[in-house]
Amino acid sequence: MEITDKDINHLADLSNTSLSSEEKEALKQDLGNILKYIGKLDELNTDGVEPTYQVFEMENVWRNDEIAAQDANREELLNLTKEEIENQIKVPKVL
Amino acid sequence: MKIADSSTSAVSLVESSLKRIEETKDYNIFTYVDKNRALKKAKEIDEKIKRGETVGRLAGVPFALKANFLSKGRPADASAKILTEFISPIDSTTTEKLEAEGAICVGCVNLDAFAHGSSTENSYYGPTSNAFDKTRVAGGSSGGSAVAVALGCVEFATGSDTGGSIRQPAAFNGVFGIKPTYGTISRYGVVAMASSLDVIGFFTKAAEDLDILMSITAGQDPKDQTTLPDFYGKNDTPLNKKKIGFIKEFMESSALNPEIKASLESKLNEAKENGYEIVELSMPTLEYALAAYYIIQPAEVASNLSRYDGVRYGFRSSNVKSLDDLFANTRDEGFMRENKRRIMIGNFVLSSGFYDAYFLKAAKVRTLIIDEFNKAFESVDAILSPVSPNLAFKIGEKTSDPVLMYLEDVMSVPVNLAGIPAVAFPTGKSKDGLPLGLQLLGPRRSDKNLIKLAGKLA
């Protein structure tokens, strides 16, 4: 499958990533080749086969509805950000 | 493994590890060395030994963390620019359990950024060299872990395996590596890649050491709800048919290096001489495993890596005018090319109009692969297989063609899709002096018996 400029811009958008025009060209090529390879699955008949999304044998693992001790406190977590003001993370203006 | 006791001090074990790390610096193995903390902990253990107090099962044993494991106070950047400057405020469950037994972390080792790769060339810190030939790759993604063990920097190293990231570098560097049954070891505090495939495992120089590490780290963890109820050493799947299989399609593959093929044939012969019946298995769906894997894995990668936005931790782009710029430019500057490929392929196969043709199709192929393994394990205890079709290749040989690099994983990914365990072990050297290795695959929960059998076959 060929990847067009429109496809690459849409995928960059879905991926929330800005890309240089040079990188877009390279990715167009790479993604096209990868999709060609994975298209190999079309050879296989999967009619009537149930999909497997995960191999874990359990479902709905519950825990008691109790507050567990946390490994990191608020201050430690806020220290990880670049800019903090009054216990809040500072980012550029939204509106 | 050499454990500290009254005749060997923990300090001497850590000092010789640090010395070896210094001597092997040009292999680019360690991304962080934690000298002072390691020596301090070693002294504490020595004092405990002197006082006659009990020390853990891994007292004074130096080990390395793959840099996608979080440990309190240490950087955990997964060799990715976007996580540089991130110092972990928490311990992964695995780190905590190992340190509680007296093991001493001497530092963090290199990987392909976010474990995306099969050579450790996709690292922000550059490639790690192979332990036996500096011009060749370490394998990946856990390349630093494998080389650290192979060159004697540490007694063991942690790893993660999503599609072969423990087994292939183990084979490339002549050490043992285990990819456990899905859900055996807690993944709490390990950077997520593809959640339905990721497992935690180890690199060692001996099979027995894998067993010790598994017995310490396996088990249900309330912090990771995808951990199985404890079974390791308690409720292990027996391997008592005395039958070992091999996969006809792998054996006959034209891509398989002749020296690896010869090594597989010779190990099967040895097993036969030791009383094992050898069974040829036809598993035709495995030919499609890699294509299914390169749909499922990027889809999960795209979801897991959506959290890296430069807001709460790690690298943040300085080229920012708006909040949208902050997200998009941080991700552009912070991810490697291979990270972007996987995120974009993942978003493609999950996007409206393509989901059924790609993701759903791959999920169905996954069922067929699981069925094929289930059928195989009705007739054999374990399957002996190549890990990768190739020996360690030259640095730079495959970086320009992502599909060529992905083909490295063609014989390792079926194991992850099926959630079964596999142990990679060394089987000698090629005529050029490069390590040869094979993997032994078993049914779910046979991990302990599989380690034992791999140790016998090695």
Going by pLDDT thresholds of 50, 70 and 90, the confidence category of residue B304 is: very high
B293 CB within 8 Å of a chain A CB: no
Please indicate whether residue B66 is annotated as part of the active site. yes
Partners of A37 on chain B (C-beta within 8 Å) are 291, 294, 403, 406
B255 CB within 8 Å of a chain A CB: no
Partners of B339 on chain A (C-beta within 8 Å) are none
The rounded distance, in Å, linking the Cα atoms of A64 and B235 is 26
Going by pLDDT thresholds of 50, 70 and 90, the confidence category of residue A94 is: confident
Tell me the CB-side half-sphere exposure of residue B59, using CA atoms within 13 A.
21
Going by pLDDT thresholds of 50, 70 and 90, the confidence category of residue B302 is: very high
3-state SS record for B192-246: CCCCCCCEEEEEECCHHHHHHHHHHHECCECCECCCCCCCCCCCCCCCCCCEEEE
Going by pLDDT thresholds of 50, 70 and 90, the confidence category of residue A56 is: confident
Neighbours of A83 (CB within 10 A): 11
- Best to test chain B binding among A8, A16, A25, A65 (most B CBs inside 10 Å): A16
Is the pLDDT at B278 greater than 90? The verdict is yes
DSSP string covering A35-82: HHHHGGGGGS--TTPPP-S---S-------SSPPPPSS-HHHHHTTSS
- Best to test chain A binding among B301, B348, B406 (most A CBs inside 10 Å): B348
Buried b (16+ CB within 10 A) or exposed e, B74-86: bbbbbbbbbbeeb
Going by pLDDT thresholds of 50, 70 and 90, the confidence category of residue A62 is: confident
Closest C-alpha among B307, B291, B386 to residue B343: B307
State pLDDT tens for residues B76-114.
Answer: 999 999 999 899 999 999 999 999 999 999 999 999 999
Task: Identify the pLDDT of residue B79.
Answer: 98
Please indicate whether residue B317 is annotated as part of the active site. no
Distance, in angstroms, between B230 CA and closest chain A CA?
Answer: 13
Strand partners, B382: B244
Partners of A60 on chain B (C-beta within 8 Å) are none
B226 CB within 8 Å of a chain A CB: yes
Whole-number percent of chain B with pLDDT over 70:
100
C-alpha pair distances (Å), B403 with each of B31, B130, B161, B423: 28, 22, 19, 26
Nearest residue of B to residue A30 by CA position? Answer: B402
Going by pLDDT thresholds of 50, 70 and 90, the confidence category of residue A95 is: confident
Task: Identify the pLDDT of residue A2.
Answer: 85
Asked if A92's CB is within 8 angstroms of B326's CB, the reply is: yes
Map out the domains of chain A as residue ranges: 5-43
Task: Identify the pLDDT of residue B114.
Answer: 98
Asked if A80's CB is within 8 angstroms of B367's CB, the reply is: no
Helix (H, G, I), strand (E, B) or coil at B278: strand
The DSSP element (H or E) to which B355 belongs, if any, is: none
Distance, in angstroms, between B45 CA and closest chain A CA?
Answer: 25
Mean pLDDT (chain A, rounded): 93
Nearest residue of A to residue B189 by CA position? Answer: A71
| B251-270 average pLDDT score | 98
Partners of B302 on chain A (C-beta within 8 Å) are 15
Task: Identify the pLDDT of residue B240.
Answer: 96
Range with lowest mean pLDDT among A9-18, A58-67, B382-391, B392-401: A58-67
The rounded distance, in Å, linking the Cα atoms of B343 and A11 is 9
Task: Identify the pLDDT of residue B389.
Answer: 97
C-alpha pair distances (Å), B114 with each of B56, B87, B165: 32, 16, 11
Distance, in angstroms, between A85 CA and closest chain B CA?
Answer: 13
State pLDDT tens for residues B403-453.
Answer: 999 999 999 999 999 999 999 999 999 999 999 999 999 999 999 999 999
Asked if B363's CB is within 8 angstroms of A16's CB, the reply is: no
Return the structure tokens found at B444: 């779910």
Q: Write down the catalytic residue from B88, B92, B141, B446.
A: B141
Is the pLDDT at A57 greater than 90? The verdict is no
C-alpha pair distances (Å), B176 with each of A70, B14, B210, B451: 36, 22, 8, 10
Is the pLDDT at A1 greater than 80? The verdict is no
Going by pLDDT thresholds of 50, 70 and 90, the confidence category of residue B180 is: very high
What is the interface pTM, i.e. ipTM, of the complex?
0.96
Task: Identify the pLDDT of residue A60.
Answer: 84
Asked if B86's CB is within 8 angstroms of A80's CB, the reply is: yes
Q: Say which amino acid occupies B245.
A: G
State pLDDT tens for residues B335-361.
Answer: 999 999 999 999 999 998 999 999 999
Mean pLDDT (chain B, rounded): 97
